[in-house]
């Protein structure tokens, strides 16, 4: 008889252990789903805060800074896309190879004169600019960040917002 009682108590303990295992698994699963959801919400909020605000009015603080390019002897290379800028500057890493490069097949314009631009945005090392002077005023192109004057202040990888560069100079 004591043997039957011992067996029934052992079964009860085994049942409790199995029930505890299921409880632990359920808690772990719910915790994992909660953490994934919280991570997704945090990532979406961080991305939303990084986007520039789209307002109809622009005040002087958010107006793009006007910069003059072409002050030196090297030409200015204007591309239609950031990928073209990156590909061209990786295939022609030096100023000498770029100035002698054949631009047939590339969507790139070479300017030998100075031109005023407004910095609109960045994508890695490519900088989106709007031409503010000359025959092509009003058009939008992409230039490599190394073509900008004082590139030590404006590093598009570190400070991708154009207003940040003007605040650093003050």
pLDDT tens, 32-78?
A: 999 999 999 999 888 888 776 655 444 444 556 778 887 777 788 99
Span of 142-146, 149-153, 159-163 with lowest mean pLDDT: 159-163
Residues 37 and 109 in one domain: no
Residues 95 and 147 in one domain: yes
Residues 86 and 165 in one domain: yes
Instruction: Answer with the residue of higher pLDDT: 56 or 148.
Output: 148
Residue-range definition of the domain harbouring residue 93: 66-169
Tell me what pLDDT residue 134 has: 82
Q: What is the mean pLDDT of residues 109-125?
A: 85
Instruction: Give the count of domains, the chain.
Output: 2
In a domain, 57, yes or no: no
In a domain, 118, yes or no: yes
In a domain, 81, yes or no: yes
In a domain, 163, yes or no: yes
Percent of the chain, pLDDT > 90? 16
In a domain, 59, yes or no: no
Residues 101 and 17 in one domain: no
- Tokens 């085994």 sit at which residue? 14
Q: At 128, give phi and psi (nearest 5°).
A: -85, 130
Residues 116 and 75 in one domain: yes
Please check the confidence at residue 159 and state whether its pLDDT lies above 60: no
Please check the confidence at residue 26 and state whether its pLDDT lies above 90: yes
Q: What is the mean pLDDT of residues 86-98?
A: 87
Residues 41 and 81 in one domain: no
Tell me what pLDDT residue 98 has: 84
Cα separation of 73 and 48, whole Å?
42
Tell me what the pLDDT averaged over the chain comes to.
77
Instruction: Answer with the residue of higher pLDDT: 151 or 14.
Output: 14
Q: At 108, give phi and psi (nearest 5°).
A: -130, 140
Cα separation of 62 and 129, whole Å?
15
């Amino acid at each position: 008889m004591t043997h039957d009682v011992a067996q029934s108590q052992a079964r009860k303990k085994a049942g409790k252990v199995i029930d505890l295992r299921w409880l632990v698994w359920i808690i772990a699963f719910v915790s994992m789903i909660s953490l994934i959801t919280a991570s997704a919400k945090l990532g979406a909020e961080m991305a939303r805060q990084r986007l520039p605000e789209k307002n109809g009015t622009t005040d002087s603080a958010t107006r793009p800074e006007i910069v003059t390019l072409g002050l030196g002897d090297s030409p200015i290379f204007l591309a239609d896309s950031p990928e073209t800028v990156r590909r061209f500057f990786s295939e022609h890493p030096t100023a000498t190879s770029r100035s002698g490069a054949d631009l047939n097949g590339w969507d790139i314009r070479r300017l030998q004169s100075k031109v005023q631009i407004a910095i609109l945005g960045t994508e890695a090392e490519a900088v989106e600019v709007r031409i503010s002077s000359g025959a092509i005023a009003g058009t939008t192109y992409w230039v490599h960040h190394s073509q900008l004057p004082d590139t030590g202040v404006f590093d598009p990888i570190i400070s991708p917002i154009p207003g940040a560069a003007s605040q650093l100079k003050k």
